[in-house]
Amino acid sequence: MSHSMRSRFRFAFVPSACTVALIVTVLLAVPVADGARADTPEGHFASVEELKRGDRCVGRTVFVGTDIEEFELEILGVVRGAAPGTDLIIARAEGDPLESTGILEGMSGSPVYKDGRLIGAISSTWQFSREPIAGITPIGEMLPALELTDAEGHASGRPGWDGLPGLAMLPERERAASSLARIVEAAGMLDGRSDGHSVSSAVAFGDRRLIPIAAPLVVSGADEDYIHRASRVLGPGVTPMLGSGVASGTAVAGTPVASDGTAPGPAAVPGSSSGVEWEAGELEPGSAVGIQFVRGDANWTAIGTVTHRDGDRLVAFGHPLFNAGAIEMPMVAVYVHAVMSLQSISFKYASGGELLGTMKEDRNRAVAGVVGPGPPMVPLTVSIRTDGGVRRFEFETLSNRPYTALFGGLAFGGAVSSAVKASGPATIDLSVRIDTGEELVEYRDVFHTTEPAMRCSGELSLLLSFLAENAFEERELRGVELDVTVREGDLGTTILRVDADRKVYRPGDDVTIRVFMRPRRGDPFERELSLRIPDAIAPGALTVRVGDAMSFHLWERDRLGLGAAPRSYEQLLNLIRNAKPGNVVVAQLLSDSPGLSLSGDEMRGIPGRAGLAMASSATSGAVDPSMLSVLDEREFAVEGQVVGFYEMTVHVEE
């Protein structure tokens, strides 16, 4: 190995003893004369210093089925320092079908060889290019991801995120109306966080950008309109498209997933008119490979290509998927149905198949995994009730925060979109039960929406993020059960006015109030409830507040001030337990005497003077004053979501 080549690999990553042994072993092996055979060439590397314009190279990828095909490339040049610490090889592909399609989505990771030695992986291209020009990631920049799969105490996927994905899933004009979004805000989880996904890096030349090749994300178990809407949540790393299901060895609709995540035997490829059967072969350089985020009655599989394999370890893609770092995702076989030619960027239309291992690293220059058992997954069961009956779905999603929240929400919304229309006015009654291993967390809400699928996906995603990413205790999400009732149209009810039976009361009296309401469908009606005035209360004015669930959450946050913020995991759960569903009318009787919260727990029933003394003596932040004290609280439920708020004053005399 030349001095320049040794320097190049040192620059790419810090070598461990295992890394040095690997490089020495493969570079001392007998070189392959030409082409790129499946047995040994992946073990031979060529550095960028050895490349020059006009060099002839060979690439490997799958265009149809599972057969690896070779194609030729001509090196156009090497861009040194294309990005900090990285180089970029530029090459022009030749031959069919690439000369008519250009570089394909799904080719990410396709290995390229010079004289039988691996130089890197196809990873980027120019949109609308008239020629099949490819950007190639040097192999030396991909190998560090391979080494990380052997790291001691490998993290089980705790990647960061620059926002809560559920916020982006909620229809923009409905975010302010989401009670769960207000609860998450009250917990302080929105401070400094965005509602979008970070944008993948690209080398920009004005409007002529060299873009990483997006991975085709083949989705089944969802409506096409919903997939289009969901694409804005996922960022540019993947391109969602409606798929025909799954292929050999993977659970399909109505088929349970085995405990080890596998399913035996060959299967007919969905969407294939010929009914061809296939079995997954060995993953080798050039093989199509899938990363599966959701499997079961819904399937979300990103398609790419294997670049290099060393024993049971492999690297692929040549660019990040989400740049998530250490993360565990199912790695599956892929069957390519066809190459779809477009004017922008063409793509491979494919299906994910048999489980083959675990993708463990999602790094800046590659993804890397290990062939063998699959990763742990989180099971979700969904029951959707409509006027036409009940539909049940079962699927699994990644057990890696925040991607459990992301893909759990997306898969749930997809199930809703396949059972009812993805858009149009509807009233949703949503019940969620989440097993954290420590407790069963239950949540219910009723809301009106014009985008049922996206609203449902956002609500679940926010709830899962709320539990998994809390600042107090780490919780494992072991399973999720969802019951949804969808009724078309707006079944909302408006609060028209509130009357009290009189204006003056004595201590110990009941304040009887009547709430006049008008449903969107049907005739106006009224409900009656009573609020008890305490026996020991000073004369003066009291406030009666009557309103919908959203108004309740907002006025409670304003009333409690800093006391509304949770200071423990148990208090965090209380925000969920005390949440009011959207079909509930809440009434409170309040005194203007100051209240207080001790370490986040409101202390109700303390006399006003005592509360004032405790609040004024707060020095450590454990005691938080509130503006008003709650004397009594009642509620009742109606059909559909309630909208409205009313406040009135009554008086207490001796």
pLDDT higher than threshold 70 for residue 599? no
Domain ranges, ordered by start, for the chain: 3-148, 165-264+282-378, 380-488, 493-652
pLDDT tens digits for range 377-400:
999 999 999 988 999 999 999 998
Helix (H) or strand (E) holding 454: helix 452-468
Whole-angstrom distance, CA of residue 32 vs CA of residue 37: 8
The answer to whether 445 touches 174, Cβ cutoff 8 Å, is: no
Show the CA angle centred on residue 357, arms to residues 138 and 366, nearest 5°. 20
- Supply the DSSP string of 564-597, one letter for each residue: GS--SHHHHHHHHHTPPPTTEEEEEEEESS-EEE
Helices (H), 193-261: 224-234
Question: Which segment, 12-16, 249-253, 629-633, is predicted with the most confidence on average?
Answer: 629-633
Q: What is the pTM of this model?
A: 0.82
pLDDT digits (tens, 9 = 90+) for 315-336: 999 999 888 889 999 999 999 9
In this prediction, residue 18 carries a pLDDT of: 40
Report whether 417 contacts 457 (CB < 8 A).
no
pLDDT digits (tens, 9 = 90+) for 179-210: 998 888 888 777 545 454 443 444 444 445 67
Going by C-alpha positions, the residue among 127, 131, 293, 113 that lies closest to residue 202 is: 127
pLDDT the model gives residue 186: 80
**DSSP string covering 589-604, please?**
EEESS-EEEETTEE-T
Classify domain 380-488 at the CATH class level: alpha beta
Task: Pick 543 or 163 by higher pLDDT.
Answer: 543
Tell me, what's the pLDDT at 191? 58
Across 527-531, average pLDDT: 96
Query: Quick one: pLDDT at residue 424?
Result: 84
More confident residue, 624 or 139: 139
Mean pLDDT over the full length of the chain: 81
Q: Does the structure show a pLDDT above 80 at 631?
A: yes
Give me the pLDDT at residue 128, please: 74
Orientation angle between helical segments 403-419 and 224-234, nearest 10 degrees: 160
Contacts 24+ apart (CB under 8 A), 606-611: 607/536, 608/538
What pLDDT score was predicted for residue 613? 59
The answer on pLDDT for 273 being more than 60 is: no
Q: What is the pLDDT of residue 37?
A: 37
Query: 22 or 616: whose pLDDT is higher?
Result: 616
Phi, psi of 90 (to 5 degrees): -115, 130
Instruction: Find out whether 416 and 384 touch, Cβ atoms under 8 Å.
Output: yes
Q: Are 571 and 626 in contact (CB under 8 A)?
A: no
> Looking at residue 610, what is its pLDDT?
56
- Inter-axis angle of helices 224-234 and 452-468, nearest 10: 40
Q: Tokens 């001030």 belong to which residue? A: 561
Q: How confident is the model at residue 270 (pLDDT cuts 50, 70, 90)?
A: very low
- What number is the average pLDDT over the span 398-412? 91
Q: What is the pLDDT of residue 395?
A: 94
pLDDT-derived band of residue 593, with 50, 70 and 90 as boundaries? confident
Distances (CA, A) of 435 to 157, 475, 478, 572, 625: 19, 10, 5, 16, 35
Q: Rounded to an integer, what distance in angstroms lies between the CA atom of residue 206 and that of residue 210?
A: 10
pLDDT greater than 60 at residue 606: no
Q: What is the pLDDT of residue 218?
A: 92
Residue-wise pLDDT tens digits, 31-72: 333 333 333 344 489 999 999 999 999 999 999 999 999 999
- Taking 70 as the threshold, does the pLDDT of residue 265 lie above it? no
Residue 614 burial class via C-beta count within 10 angstroms: exposed 0-12, middle 13-18, buried 19 and up: middle
Q: CB–CB of 219/241 below 8 Å?
A: yes
Q: Sign of torsion, CA 463 468 470 472?
A: positive
CA distance 35 to 110: 14
Q: Supply the pLDDT for residue 245.
A: 53
Judged by average pLDDT, the poorest of 143-152, 167-176, 412-421, 632-641 is 143-152
Position 269 scores a pLDDT of 40
Mean pLDDT value of segment 424-433: 94
Among 151-155, 290-294, 376-380, 391-395, the range scoring the smallest mean pLDDT is: 151-155
Kindly indicate the confidence band of residue 619, based on its pLDDT and cuts at 50, 70 and 90. very low
Mean local confidence (pLDDT), 215-239: 86
CATH code for the domain defined by 3-148: 2.40.10.10
Can you give the pLDDT at residue 319?
92
7, 323, 319, 10: which is closest to 135 by C-alpha?
Answer: 319
Report the pLDDT value the prediction gives residue 337, as an integer from 0 to 100: 92
